Structure 1
Amino acid sequence: MKRIMPLILATAVALGTQGAAAADKVTTLPVQFAKGMQSFSTSHTLLGYDSVNYTLDAKAEQSMRVSLSGSSNVGFNIYAPGDIPGVATALGSGSQGQDWNGILPASGTYTVQVYQVRAAARRGAQAAYAITFAIH
Structure 2
Amino acid sequence: MKKSLFLSMLIALFSPIALGADKVTTVPVHFAKGASNAQLKGTFGGYDSIEYTLSAKAGQRMTVKISGSSNANFNVFAPGSKPGEAEALGSGSVGTDWSGALPASGEYRVQVFQMRASARRGEKVPHTISIAIE
Which of 40, 43, 55 is 2:41 aligned to? 43
Please give the alpha-carbon distance, in whole angstroms, between the structure 1 residues aligned to 2:17 and 2:24: 16
Cα deviation 1:53-89 (Å, max 9, x = unaligned): 0100000000100000011111000000000111110
Equivalent in the alignment of 2:5: none
Deviation track 1:90-135 (CA, whole Å, cap 9, x = no partner) reads 0000000100000000110000000011111011111111000000
Matched residues, number: 122
Q: Distance in 1 between matches of 2:42 and 2:17?
A: 26
Report 1:27-106 matches (<5 A). Answer: 27-106=25-104
8 Å CA contact 1:49–1:122 kept in 2: the answer is: yes
In structure 2, runs of 5+ residues without a counterpart are 1-9
The structure where helix makes up a greater share of residues is 1
Q: Percent identity?
A: 56
Give 5+ residue unaligned stretches, structure 1. 1-10
RMSD: 1.7
When the two structures are superposed, what TM-score results if normalisation uses the length of structure 1? 0.84
Could you tell me which of 112, 115, 134 is aligned with 2:113?
115
SS across alignment from 2:131: strand
Residue type at the aligned position of 1:72: S
Structure 2 length normalisation: TM-score? 0.85
Q: Which residue of 2 aligns with 1:124?
A: 122
- Structure 1 stretches of 4+ with a deviation exceeding 2 A read 17-20
User: Residue 45 of structure 1 contacts residue 129 of structure 1 at CA under 8 Å; is this kept in 2?
Assistant: yes
TM-superposed deviation, 1:23: 3.7
Counterpart CA distance in 2 for 1:79 and 1:106 is 11
